[in-house]
């Protein structure tokens, strides 16, 4: 009987300790390598941003903790599936994008994962606005003139894009401006930009990092950036919203996600550690060189952004008729 009472007291004490110290398990995290899945090939923007983050986390932890694992295929679907099915223990994360964790949910008829049900948001990492550029011979110098020309020549003013997000950025533009433009798809920016520089295609929705050098050299003319505010390294270019199409915003984000069910204590620690890295002046400067701006939020705030963007891009996908094979 005395043993039973002693055991009872021990259990009560243990329960009280756990209640008072809910993050004890997280205090030791990470005890082993944390895998950051990149759902795209090495060398791309997502990969570059993730490797920078992993490097700085390793420096912060003073040991090799973060490891990048490229799992490319099907527009980010392959890597996202791997991450969604991983153990929810904080040791498998994914650098998701607007494409993988907002657009794919409606682009695929039967998506194999859901960005909200199958993942927990940790924090965004970077914003990557695009730029509207035109061939110098095209008689437009701002967004208002672009809309006017498109209305005067329905279906004739062409725009190039490479990838779903850039195409849908153009689709959102034409929908909001109530104009008809000719979309010319390319497999990648390496094919799309030369087509605009040669005059084969009149305009393009392109990444800032690829556009700025060509604009500076006079090979292209920059009209506006697609973000809600001007980009820090290109402040001379207005936003689309302020230069002719109020309310327009088409900006890609990269963000860190964990599998659904990952303990909140671990999510909180990851958020704090990653935000600390991203808010350092050195990392902010390095991201700007890649055409990206450091972007951090709490897990709850990021979850709201994802929910909003899933709905926003679903409307654009439906209106455009876009589908993934």
What CATH number is associated with residue 184? 3.40.190.10
**Environment class of 170 (CB within 10 Å of its CB; exposed 0-12, middle 13-18, buried 19+):** buried
Rg (CA), the chain: 23
- List, for residues 179-210, the tens digit of each pLDDT value: 999 999 998 888 999 999 999 999 999 999 99
Q: How many domains does the chain have?
A: 2
Neighbours of 247 (CB within 10 A): 8
- List, for residues 73-110, the tens digit of each pLDDT value: 998 999 999 999 999 999 999 999 999 999 999 999 88
For residue 266, what is the domain's CATH number? 3.40.190.150
**Environment class of 242 (CB within 10 Å of its CB; exposed 0-12, middle 13-18, buried 19+):** middle
In this prediction, residue 289 has a pLDDT band, given cuts at 50, 70 and 90, of: very high
Say how far apart CA 106 and CA 317 lie, in whole Å: 7
18 shares its domain with 64 = yes
| Cα-to-chain-centroid distance, residue 155 | 30
Extract the tokens encoding 322: 């876009």
92 shares its domain with 168 = no
Summarize the confidence of residues 163-183 as an average pLDDT.
Answer: 95
Q: Which domain holds residue 118?
A: 10-127+252-320
Say how far apart CA 113 and CA 258 lie, in whole Å: 13
Could you identify the residue written with the tokens 């820090």?
232
pLDDT at 185: 93
pLDDT at 163: 79
Nearest Cα to 258, choosing from 143, 91, 104, 98? 91
| Within a domain: 1 | no
147 shares its domain with 121 = no
147 shares its domain with 114 = no
- List, for residues 12-55, the tens digit of each pLDDT value: 444 444 444 444 455 689 999 999 999 999 998 999 999 999 99
Extract the tokens encoding 202: 């009149």
Choosing from 194, 226, 243, the residue where a domain stops is 243
DSSP 242: G
Of how many residues is the chain composed? 325
**pLDDT, mean over the chain:** 91
Say how far apart CA 170 and CA 139 lie, in whole Å: 19
Phi, psi (degrees; rounded to nearest 5) at 115: -65, -20
| Within a domain: 5 | no
pLDDT at 22: 45
| Within a domain: 41 | yes
| Within a domain: 3 | no
Please answer whether residues 75 and 324 qualify as being in contact, where contact means their C-beta atoms are separated by less than 8 angstroms: yes
pLDDT > 60? residue 252: yes
122 shares its domain with 133 = no
- pTM > 0.95: no
pLDDT > 90? residue 5: no
Sign of CA dihedral 235, 184, 182, 127: negative
pLDDT at 27: 63
| Within a domain: 279 | yes
Cα distances (Å, whole numbers) of residue 58 to 53, 130, 146: 9, 31, 47
pLDDT > 80? residue 325: no
pLDDT at 99: 95
The rounded percent of the chain whose pLDDT value lies above 70 is 91
259 shares its domain with 122 = yes
pLDDT > 70? residue 7: no
Say how far apart CA 123 and CA 125 lie, in whole Å: 6
């Amino acid at each position: 009987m005395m043993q039973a009472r002693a055991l009872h007291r021990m259990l009560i004490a243990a329960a009280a300790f756990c209640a008072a110290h809910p993050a004890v398990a997280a205090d030791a995290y990470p005890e082993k390598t944390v895998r950051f899945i990149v759902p795209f090939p090495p060398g791309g923007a997502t990969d570059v941003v993730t490797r920078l983050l992993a490097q700085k986390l390793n420096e912060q932890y003073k040991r090799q903790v973060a490891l990048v694992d490229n799992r490319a295929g099907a527009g980010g679907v392959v890597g996202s599936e791997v991450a969604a099915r991983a153990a929810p223990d904080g040791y498998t994360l994914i650098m998701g994008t607007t494409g993988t964790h907002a657009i794919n949910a409606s682009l695929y008829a039967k998506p194999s994962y859901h960005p909200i049900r199958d993942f927990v948001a940790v924090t965004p990492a970077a914003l990557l606005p695009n730029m509207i550029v035109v061939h110098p011979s095209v008689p437009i110098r701002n967004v208002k003139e672009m809309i006017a020309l498109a209305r005067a020549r329905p279906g004739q003013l062409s725009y190039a894009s490479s990838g779903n997000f850039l195409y849908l950025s153009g689709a959102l533009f034409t929908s909001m401006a109530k104009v008809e433009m000719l979309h010319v798809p390319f497999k990648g920016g390496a094919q799309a930009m030369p087509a605009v520089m040669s005059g084969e295609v009149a305009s393009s929705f392109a990444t800032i990092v690829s556009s700025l050098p060509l604009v500076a050299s006079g090979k292209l003319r920059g009209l506006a950036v697609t973000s809600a505010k001007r980009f820090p390294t290109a402040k001379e270019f207005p936003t689309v919203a302020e230069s002719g199409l109020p309310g327009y915003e088409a900006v890609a984000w990269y963000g860190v996600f964990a599998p659904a069910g990952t303990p909140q204590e671990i999510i909180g620690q990851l958020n704090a550690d990653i935000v600390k890295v991203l808010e350092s002046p050195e990392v902010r400067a390095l991201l700007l060189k890649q055409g990206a701006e450091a972007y951090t939020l709490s897990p709850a705030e990021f979850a709201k952004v994802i929910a909003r963007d899933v709905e926003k891009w679903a409307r654009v996908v439906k209106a455009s008729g876009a589908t993934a094979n």
